[in-house]
Structure 1
Amino acid sequence: MSESQEAPPDRVLVLTAHPDDTEFCVAGTVMQWTALGTEVTYCVLTDGDSGGYDDGLPRQSISPLRRAEQRAAAGYAGVREVRFLGYPDGRLEPSIELRRDIARVIRQVRPQVVLMPSPEINWARIADTHPDHRAAGEAALRAVYPDARNPYAHPELRAQGLEAWEVPEIWLIMGPSPNHFVDVTDLFERKLAALRLHTSQTAHVADLEALLRRWQTEHAVSGGLPAGRLAEAFQVIRL
């Protein structure tokens, strides 16, 4: 919960490029929200078909597998709704079509908070610079402002009965300038368990716990949390 909010939001939309981005970056925060009654929706922009590590799996099986893994991980975090836009993994661009599709979801969900990748490059962590992440962030930012809130943008959405919606607050993930840190120490084991449900992506990573713990420790240190704490990091922006 941000400092600008006195109570948890009623509705949150989490936009990510790939299945498993949520579990790596925000699952602990989501678990806190769902425990307080917040309705959280996940929207994954790509089909995830460039992921995986097992050459024995047919490529056409990867996308359905990753969708199933994401649904399982979402359910573990108390999230009942997961949407998939199905754009090609590794080829995401902030196109007008993607902006429209994200604006559609925003108008349907009508969230108080949208979590999304930062469109900026984070040179301190190379994994965060994946071009799909930055394209997702750029498209999502344009969808929040101005598309979703402008009744005259994407007139086909209004024709579908979807009225404009103004998002009050966005939380950027993977960016270079976090200003808000959520202590997830007590939920770390559950966050790790949710991440491990993405078997196609994580089963081969021998040091997954150590990797995740290192990242969360770095966030906690950056946020000035006491020694031994673990955190997720965000740049919170009021619109």
Structure 2
Amino acid sequence: MRTAAQLAAEFGWRRVLAVGAHPDDLDFGAAATLAGLAEAGAHVELCVVTDGDAGGFDSAGPAAMTARRRQEQREAARSLGAAEVHFLGERDGHLEPDHRVRRALVALMRRVRPDVVLAPHPERDWESMQASHPDHLACGEAVVRAAYPAVENPYAYPELAEQGLEAFRIRHLLLYAAPAARRTLAVDVGGWEERKIAALNAHLSQHPDVPGMHRAVRALMARRHREAAGPGAPTGSAEAFHLVTVNHEATFAGF
């Protein structure tokens, strides 16, 4: 098990783009890892695909909830050390990995030019239907399709190249909320737990039971650490991902 800083050094992750379907998805799935990457010197930008207007408590309606949730995500981003938050403005609960969404993601990827892109896993986890919200799956699928081949194909969305957004190759995908069989990387986030909690605390519109949320999040980090470290290992905290290599030194013509 390695820390975010160790992974950044090993894989050369200098620029990071983290994508979530809703405000708070990234904070539940990867906040401690993102904070560790930012602290290690990586440039981190966040993208929220939908406005999250279909969820929450004490709302004056969808427009008010959209404004509130965008502000909450900006506050959470500051807790993590992220440089910028992008909002694509899709409707909560109606997300599809169609060409409009993929084009927007390709444009953003080409603008940020990340070494690694974080996103929800596109495969359903039958052990956690909450983690497998249809918007999460659609977001993950859209990111995967954008990352390969569209972002590196100059003939995909050629109008983007005309705007100066040239094709490039992404090295890695780091997919959170993955089913157990797909988790290939556990990140040691010991020492970063409070940064994750601080980011989640920004999303008060979503948490009628803040202490309960804290207990659940800490318990999940501890469980992911036990799963990775094995029985008898010291207690700790981890976040788990499916690490996918999209391009490496030996990649030729996409194979």
Normalised to the residue count of structure 2, the TM-score between the two structures is 0.89
* Number of residues of Structure 1 aligned to a counterpart in Structure 2: 238
Which deviates more from structure 2 when the two are superposed, residues 184-193 or residues 143-152? Answer: 184-193
> Which residue number in structure 1 is paired with residue 200 of structure 2?
195
> Which residue number in structure 2 is paired with residue 103 of structure 1?
106
Q: Structure 1, unaligned stretches of length 5 or more?
A: none
- Does residue 119 (structure 1) correspond to residue 115 (structure 2)? The answer is no
> Which residue number in structure 1 is paired with residue 48 of structure 2?
44
**Per the alignment, in what secondary structure is the counterpart of residue 129 of structure 1?**
coil
User: 1:4-35 CA deviation, whole Å, 9 max, x = no partner?
Assistant: 95265110000110000111111101111111
**Per the alignment, in what secondary structure is the counterpart of residue 117 of structure 2?**
strand
Contact 1:8 1:36 in 2 (8 A): no
User: 1:113-160 CA deviation, whole Å, 9 max, x = no partner?
Assistant: 000111101112221110000000001000000110100001111121
Contact 2:183 2:241 in 1 (8 A): yes
- Does residue 231 (structure 1) correspond to residue 235 (structure 2)? The answer is no
User: 1:72-110 CA deviation, whole Å, 9 max, x = no partner?
Assistant: 110111112100000000100000110100000000000
CA distance in 2, matches of 1:150, 1:5: 28
Q: Which amino acid aligns with 1:230?
A: S
CA distance in 1, matches of 2:110, 2:11: 22
* Aligned-residue RMSD, C-alpha: 1.6
Contact 2:94 2:135 in 1 (8 A): yes
**Per the alignment, in what secondary structure is the counterpart of residue 211 of structure 1?**
helix
CA distance in 2, matches of 1:100, 1:17: 16
> Which residue number in structure 2 is paired with residue 27 of structure 1?
31
- Does residue 12 (structure 1) correspond to residue 13 (structure 2)? The answer is no
> Which residue number in structure 2 is paired with residue 210 of structure 1?
215
Shift of 1:57: 2.6
Which deviates more from structure 2 when the two are superposed, residues 183-192 or residues 101-110? Answer: 183-192
CA distance in 1, matches of 2:23, 2:176: 15
CA distance in 2, matches of 1:221, 1:5: 25
CA distance in 2, matches of 1:7, 1:168: 9
> Which residue number in structure 2 is paired with residue 159 of structure 1?
162
Q: Percent identity?
A: 41
Contact 2:35 2:80 in 1 (8 A): yes
Contact 1:119 1:137 in 2 (8 A): yes
Q: Structure 2, unaligned stretches of length 5 or more?
A: 247-255
CA distance in 2, matches of 1:167, 1:31: 21
User: Taking structure 1 as reference, are residues 13 and 4 closer, same or farther at Cα in structure 2, changes over 3 Å only?
Assistant: closer
Q: Which amino acid aligns with 1:23?
A: D
Normalised to the residue count of structure 1, the TM-score between the two structures is 0.95
Contact 2:12 2:115 in 1 (8 A): no
CA distance in 2, matches of 1:238, 1:105: 20
> Which residue number in structure 2 is paired with residue 185 of structure 1?
190
Which consecutive segments of 4 or more residues in structure 1 shift more than 3 A? 1-5, 203-206
> Which residue number in structure 2 is paired with residue 170 of structure 1?
173
Which deviates more from structure 2 when the two are superposed, residues 197-206 or residues 136-145? Answer: 197-206
